[in-house]
Structure 1
């Protein structure tokens, strides 16, 4: 698996795993649709019913993902537009490649409901729902293969009358690794029209330190993400959760359970994925060391927009190697800025530089901020690449994870600068703190 397959956004508000980030913003969602054309039917019978509830101009989903599918702009945002999905880019795929549905990410996202799909293009769409009908999928495919024109009739509209669902392979659990450990959550129910996000502590019970060369994940459909954390050493005993007990952060009425969220203030990121299958392979000879008796806090998030219950289930494998095969031990990067104050009713940008004491090779970066955070940017500080942006995200709840196919090497005296923008809409000043009403400013990553 390419590291690029893991280098994509933990997309915003359950939609950023969509067709790809970027594209023009919409300005008018009320433009009349010409249903005499094939694309007009694609817009009204496929996109309007399944996509524009999220990807509409002005919505937080469109702002975060950058993809607007309103009638005024859908065509120019889709056809012959490059995808920002790393795997799709590697495959030479566009959002819509005229004449070739197989090389069009729009079509691929509609058939990713097949758990045996050979490529990892993120989550199937529409996320939180269910597969489109066979007729809708075939109609989109026929339009693309006919050249994806904006006008004219090039596909049989009768295809849309086929309301049957495609028959895909059944979900198969992730096999336990021959050398290593597996942690999982579920199966569990996800109530109709509900987002279920939960944590559960799993104790690895490893009697000695282990060396992880690869993380591998697998999830049932409609999972937004799976994240693995460890706890910082200073977590109070009264906050440390009991093992193997599911902690839902949303109550049945949708309100947040802040008590259940308290351990989040003592998390250290270890691994994660936002796609049905995912993972990360450390470069040859490099492994992440985990101490004896490692404890994980697994975070699973499912979205259900249907009228029936869904089943959630997530797996994570830790593939381990003998220490004798490890030439370099990877560590978890943790750069924390606690010295900032956000004035009330004001947008504030906080900048801090973290300097390396010795040559440091960075393999991965991600970030952590709370709900007032609007963007988190990381730049190189010093050296020939001074000021270069190497990481950015606009999603405080599910930040991007950036994997470097070519590791980022920083010499002593160089560093990373975090540039974090917050919007304090409250009437009180906000500073660093552990609750969701406070804020955070943390860079996580892997390095050696």
Structure 2
């Protein structure tokens, strides 16, 4: 298809008669003095930055009081094809695309590359015109959101009677989703204290800033979400797949226009953008005000290898209580786990600050035909550990419930366990920061314990889908915790759960088996690399007679049996969690 002469004439006319929206004014944080007075957020040309100084001088109108306000007004999250970032895709965007192609100073703009070939050319112009002329969507904006986004991606968990709907007090089935959302007070205490409603009909910037629903689905702001709102829970849908850029922009436009139930207030062409948000680059962490920071690396991960090692750090001289854990890991991480040696460990204490590798080519399993004792010792160490904290997310910030903290004893022998994959042809650098934020003993009401439930009997036939299930009784659960039950009347509270498996996993479910035989799904992971960390607020209470079910589906696409093991080509089936007794 070629552009018609009439379209070309329109483009030429608009090209010389249309001016684009001007971006936010770029400010420099060093221009406001060396004082500690909090001033607010500024746009530095790349992102929104909170600064302190002496005075705003004459720039007060360019400061923002919240990150959200700055981000919404200054950050360009344009959908594919929305060249002028006006939330509409029309002939004006074609004009801008032509302008960009003709401008020798503009080499590439991702949201103008309609065919994703890394180039801006006439093919992208034709593709954009085709998208505009083929639009035949006439449903109300809310109907599209309800039927095409919420029903398949949210209502599968938030349906009447489900664990998720009861713990969040939110049902998102098609018949009642709108009334469940609009202007309702969220059950999340932190969001409630911040004055948010689930979905605001105020419209404009205030509507977005007031909507907890928008905070929860806006994966583009995940770093801000976890850094500034650690008690808001998890980005939704839990564990992904998250909403596309097009879906997010469509919902954002709808909320901006007052979240109406009836009417067309957002351009459905935006939904053609099926791209997914990519997380930001690795950033080192500042040390915690109270607590300790561990830093590993940088270390090499060779092309087409995986690297996993243990890294022993010395114990502190006194006990301390951890109530928040913060991690940042460079690209390529599969997981990071903080272990302690099990109470019955009798081997020698490893050398501190040394990489004790698990896999070849970083360490050989055999030397001169005999087993490498250093490698064997590392493997045995890994099997004699008790899990403390861990995540497969490259950025993680987890705050314990109020009054709950985990005691790290001075006799804990801590082992840090990074695991990196590099399936590229280039060398990459692994690097990990771990912050353990501490609180004073007098602030601790409940001492936390560590839950670990696993199944080692794994055998997956080649080229088949296999579902494995393990039922853990109340006794199994209590035996899987590293602290004792204070008395028989104490209730077990689980406030965090997540799963661990390897690359053949396609689904990992955790269910509660009630005394009457009813099973209730409480957790699902669909991505083995980034399983959701389920923060339970209020905590999940396990009563006598209840069990936990681990049900995991694998698809073994190899020609060999796959069994339990430590390599990424082996498999695992483990539930980790944090608990306390009340």
The answer to whether TM tops 0.5 is yes
> In the alignment, which of 513, 528, 534 is matched to residue 381 of structure 1?
513
Relative distance call for 1:296 and 1:347 in structure 2 (3 A) is same
Choose which of 287, 297, 317 in structure 2 pairs with 1:175.
Answer: 287
Give the superposition deviation at 1:105: 7.2
Equivalent residue for 1:217?
327
Asked whether the 8 Å contact 1:230–1:267 carries over to 2, the reply is yes
| CA 409–44 in structure 1, closer or farther in 2 if over 3 Å, else same | same
Q: 1:156: which partner in 2?
A: none
Cα 1:317–1:340 change in 2 (3 A) is closer
State how far apart, in whole Å, the 1-side matches of 2:558 and 2:511 are.
29
TM-score, length-scaled by structure 2: 0.46
- Match of 2:30? none
**1:410 paired to 2:542:** yes
1:287 CA displacement: 1.9
1:304/1:289 CA distance change after superposition, 3 Å? same
For residue 419 of structure 1, report the CA deviation from its aligned partner: 1.0
Higher relative CO (Cα under 8 Å, sequence separation at least 6) belongs to: 1
Pair 1:421 & 2:546 matched:
no
User: What do residues 187-232 of structure 1 show as CA deviations (whole Å, max 9, x unaligned)?
Assistant: 56889x9998665514142234433222233567897865434455
1:317 matched to 2:428: no
Q: Are 2:414 and 1:295 equivalent residues in the alignment?
A: yes
What is the CA distance between 1:323 and its match in structure 2? Answer: 4.4
Classify the secondary structure of the residue corresponding to 2:451.
strand
Pick closer, same or farther for the CA change 1:112–1:350 going to 2, 3 Å: closer
Indicate yes or no: 2:352 matched with 1:352: no
Q: Distance in 1 between matches of 2:117 and 2:578?
A: 38
* Equivalent in the alignment of 1:286: 404
Q: Could you say which structure has the larger radius of gyration?
A: 2
Instruction: Tell me how far apart the structure 1 counterparts of residues 353 and 316 of structure 2 sit (CA, whole Å).
Output: 16
| Alignment partners' CA distance in 2, 1:38 and 1:142 | 21
Give the aligned partner of residue 295 of structure 2: 184
Residue 362 of structure 2 is aligned to residue 244 of structure 1: no
Residues 293 and 447 from structure 1, CA distance in 2 versus in 1: closer, same or farther, beyond 3 angstroms? closer
Deviation at 1:244, TM superposition (A): 2.3
Q: Structure 1: 5+ residue runs without aligned partners?
A: 1-33, 52-70, 123-131, 133-138, 153-167
Higher helix share: 2
Q: Quick check: 2:250–2:267 contact (8 Å CA) kept in 1?
A: no
> Do 2:312 and 2:351's aligned partners in 1 also have CA atoms closer than 8 Å?
no
CA shift for structure 1 position 324: 5.3
Q: Quick check: 1:150 aligned with 2:217?
A: no
Residue in structure 2 matching 1:335, options 453, 471, 476: 453
Q: Do structure 1's residue 367 and structure 2's residue 499 form an aligned pair?
A: yes
Offset of 1:303 from its aligned partner? 8.7
The 3 A distance-change label for structure 1 pair 209 and 430 is same
Partner residue in 1 for 2:313: 203
**Aligned partners of 1:107 and 1:141 also within 8 Å:** no
Q: State whether residues 93 and 105 of structure 1, in contact with CA within 8 Å, keep that contact through their aligned partners in structure 2.
A: no
Aligned counterparts of 1:205 and 1:281: Cα–Cα separation in 2: 23
Kindly state the Cα deviation for residue 35 of structure 1 after the two structures are TM-superposed. 7.7
Pick which of 267-276 and 315-324 moved more: 267-276
CA distance, structure 1, for counterparts of residue 539 and residue 251 of structure 2: 39
Q: TM-score, structure 1 length as denominator?
A: 0.57
Preserved contact between residue 355 and residue 412 of structure 1 (Cα < 8 Å): no
Q: Provide the secondary structure at the position in 2 that maps to 1:388.
A: strand
| Superposition deviation, residue 416 in structure 1 | 0.2
SS at match of 2:268: coil
Partner of 1:393: 525
Q: Output the CA distance in 1 between the equivalents of 2:91 and 2:384.
A: 55
Q: What's the CA shift for 1:343?
A: 3.5
Q: Once structures 1 and 2 are overlaid, which stretch shifts more, 395-404 or 411-420?
A: 395-404
CA distance in 1, matches of 2:541, 2:252: 47
Hey, what's the Cα distance between the residues in 1 that align with 2:531 and 2:217? Answer: 26
**8 A contact 1:302–1:312 mirrored in 2:** no
| Alpha-carbon separation, structure 2, partners of 1:50 and 1:295 | 48
Residue by residue over 1:264-299, the C-alpha shift from the partner in whole angstroms, topping out at 9 and shown as x without a partner, is: 655544224566764222223322133324313142
Whole-angstrom CA distance in 1 between matches of 2:430 and 2:143? 32
